[in-house]
Amino acid sequence: MCFPLSDNGHQVHLWGTWLDDELLEGAKRGRHPRLDRPLPEGVRLFHAPELARAIRDADIILVAVTSEGFLPVFEKLLNTADHLPPVLGLTKGFVESGERVLTVSEGAELAFGSRWPEGKLRWVSVGGPVKAVELAELIPTAAVFGFQGSCEALDMKSMVNAFLRPYYRVFPLSDMRGVELSSALKNIYAMGMGICDGLYEGLGIRYYHNFKALLYNQAIREMALLVSTVGGRRETVFDLAGIGDLFVTSASGRNGIFGRRVGLGGTPQQEYDHMLKAGEVAEGYHTLALAHRYIGQRHGGLIGQLPMFRAIYDVLYGGASPREALLRFAEMHGQRQ
Amino acid sequence: MCFPLSDNGHQVHLWGTWLDDELLEGAKRGRHPRLDRPLPEGVRLFHAPELARAIRDADIILVAVTSEGFLPVFEKLLNTADHLPPVLGLTKGFVESGERVLTVSEGAELAFGSRWPEGKLRWVSVGGPVKAVELAELIPTAAVFGFQGSCEALDMKSMVNAFLRPYYRVFPLSDMRGVELSSALKNIYAMGMGICDGLYEGLGIRYYHNFKALLYNQAIREMALLVSTVGGRRETVFDLAGIGDLFVTSASGRNGIFGRRVGLGGTPQQEYDHMLKAGEVAEGYHTLALAHRYIGQRHGGLIGQLPMFRAIYDVLYGGASPREALLRFAEMHGQRQ
């Protein structure tokens, strides 16, 4: 996100948590290690203890930590700031508050309310098909900024204009819940499509596009059902935040790779740990466990209408074999109407 | 389609046109040349002059010729049959009747009405993400049977049951127009995604998933707009017939390959002819020209709301360079709201 902001003449402060020293040091030496290229000129880097300086006079704050790290970091932000400008949330997943599972924006609101009980959090959930490394290469990219409430109160126009570039198109959408859930859920379904890849790779079968498309399609159906059940809009899933993002996420990325390893016969926890040691977080694995609890706490009966979700859950947390779970799903799929 | 029918105990007669002798001879010798495997036991093969015998006492007739060949073959069928059982149309595209461009089912109805002015054609349009070669390998596959009118009058239940297998799920959908248009249009948009592949391959850039997802997403948006404008349902596009089929078609197939060659700098007509000589019909190329006329004849103003369609048309019929057309599209895309 530094790139479109810098290209638009904005001053960007990039702060890293206590886990990001290596990234910051790499960037300081001239190359961001993950992007494998220099950051835009003028981006100022801040280490963990320098948060107060990093956010001083900020017009917008972007939060892009993983979902597991979100609440501690966001609370640190709240305790450091004397007021909070609008926040763009790039975190994808769910968070835990005691026994309760919340969406990221719900978690943010809860934490915000503890700090400023009278205040109102201005929050925007970012979604859409965006691999950061490609955006940094200025590949044409489209994103969705999901908000709720009044477009004017959030000054969405200025927010969007801060980012808009010929290579980066931003579409505001008044369905924050739909956007943040799509962003979280697509990681789960991308793991499922990865499991399918691993399964067929293991069987030595190269062409199974029909099944892959069936899974992709079913993922979108289930995401639309889930989103609409919790108050989001189906149309959000049928656009960039859903079909666009799942398209990109299933084509490349850590969640698909993790699923593929499991489909090839790996044990989920071991494969997850293995990737983690290499610095790769398959965030969908954790997201799936929380999503399962989230659905159970709010709409327990819904699980029965999500056969693909269940198949993925059975493989990753229930010890089911990928082959059995996927074929059982394919059979059940036929009974959907 | 022989496989699920045979597996369900139905007698299948496979008739080939005057262009299919080679396929039939190959199948007779033990391997269907395209599928590279034997047909199911019991499938009876019929050459072009044997149409009357092939269709005698048929309960269902499937028509699977290309769109360019559809009308001549269907008229031959009409002139040979003394009555017509329900017809499953697998042809994807548009047909010409004089100056007028029609969908396949409209063309079929017109021809049927000339033969039996008092009769009523029972027609079902088949769609969904189905590569024939994978279905023949029993890869789990889902299809949509689009019909109009009463489910009972067409006896859709028997029709679906004739095909239903654990590996082949069939969903009846009362939106024939939506299904047939989705099937036709997806070939056009798959060419567009192929052009993008060729363009980036030519530039030596390997990762452009963001842009690919943007194009896929825009294709679905435009298909939904087109389908709903001519009386089909948006939901049809947001399911197997649209997002499922475009997923499979953009991942593999002749239209994507054709687009890629053009994206790499080839001249459309030359690349089309080149593929044709190798026995590969990039049907989308012809479909695009007819779709352009179809839209112009019915809803001329709609073209302005289809920037991706226009970009593909400009490249394939207007001499525009893939680079200019795609980048211009990406810019315009930003103004969609």
Contacts of B251 in chain A (CB under 8 A): 209, 212-213
Helix (H), strand (E), coil (C) string for A7-57: HCCCCCEEECCCCCHHHHHHHHCCCECCCCECCCCCCEEECHHHHHHHHCC
Task: Flag if B214 and A137 touch (Cβ within 8 Å).
Answer: no
Which of B135, B213, B220 minimises the CB distance to A210?
B135
pLDDT tens track, chain A, 337 positions: 999 999 999 999 999 998 899 999 999 999 998 888 999 999 999 999 999 999 999 999 999 999 999 999 999 999 999 999 999 999 999 999 999 999 999 999 999 999 999 999 999 999 999 999 999 999 999 999 999 988 888 889 999 999 999 999 999 999 999 999 999 999 999 999 999 999 999 999 999 999 999 999 999 999 999 999 999 999 999 999 999 999 999 998 999 999 999 999 999 999 999 999 998 999 999 999 999 999 999 998 999 999 999 999 999 999 999 999 998 888 766 555 4
Per-residue model confidence (pLDDT) at position B294: 97
- Quick: pLDDT tens for B201-225: 999 999 999 999 999 999 999 999 9
Checking if the pLDDT of B278 tops 50, the result is: yes
- Quick: pLDDT tens for B163-200: 999 999 999 999 999 999 999 999 999 999 999 999 99
Task: Flag if B243 and A252 touch (Cβ within 8 Å).
Answer: no
Distance from CA of A205 to the nearest CA of B (A): 10
Task: Flag if A244 and B207 touch (Cβ within 8 Å).
Answer: no
DSSP for A302-319 reads GGGG-HHHHHHHHHHHS-
**Closest residue of A to B328, CA-based?**
A166
Cα B259 from Cα B207, distance rounded (Å): 18
**Closest residue of A to B245, CA-based?**
A213
Distance from CA of A77 to the nearest CA of B (A): 31
Report, as an integer, the average pLDDT of B28-36. 90
Checking if the pLDDT of B333 tops 70, the result is: no
- Quick: pLDDT tens for B47-105: 999 999 999 999 999 999 999 999 999 999 999 999 999 999 999 999 999 999 999 99
Q: How much is the pTM?
A: 0.96
Contacts of B164 in chain A (CB under 8 A): 334
Contacts of B225 in chain A (CB under 8 A): none
Per-residue model confidence (pLDDT) at position A150: 85
Checking if the pLDDT of B261 tops 60, the result is: yes
Structure-token pair, residue A138: 């200025």
Checking if the pLDDT of B152 tops 90, the result is: no
Cα B61 from Cα A175, distance rounded (Å): 47
Which of B133, B209, B244 minimises the CB distance to A213?
B244
Question: Complex ipTM, two decimals?
Answer: 0.95
Task: Flag if B248 and A139 touch (Cβ within 8 Å).
Answer: no
Pick from B201, B209, B327 the residue to mutate for testing the A interface (most A CBs within 10 Å). Answer: B209
- Quick: pLDDT tens for B115-133: 999 999 999 999 999 999 9
DSSP for B49-98 reads GGHHHHHTT-S-EEE---HHHHHHHHHHHHHH-SS---EEE---SEEEET
Average model confidence (pLDDT) across chain B? 95
Residue B73 CA to its chain's centroid (Å): 16
Contacts of A129 in chain B (CB under 8 A): 209-210, 213-214, 217
Checking if the pLDDT of B32 tops 50, the result is: yes
B334 falls in which pLDDT band (50, 70, 90)?
low
Structure-token pair, residue B214: 């943007």
Per-residue model confidence (pLDDT) at position B337: 41
DSSP for B145-192 reads EE--S-TTTTTHHHHHHHH-BTTEEEEEES-HHHHHHHHHHHHHHHHH
Contacts of B311 in chain A (CB under 8 A): none
* Contact present, B236 and B146 (Cβ < 8 Å): yes
* Contact present, A15 and A56 (Cβ < 8 Å): no
Contacts of A208 in chain B (CB under 8 A): 134, 139
Report, as an integer, the average pLDDT of B293-309. 94
Q: What percent of chain B has pLDDT over 90?
A: 90
Task: Flag if B142 and A252 touch (Cβ within 8 Å).
Answer: no
Which of B130, B213, B251 minimises the CB distance to A244?
B213
Cα B187 from Cα A291, distance rounded (Å): 36
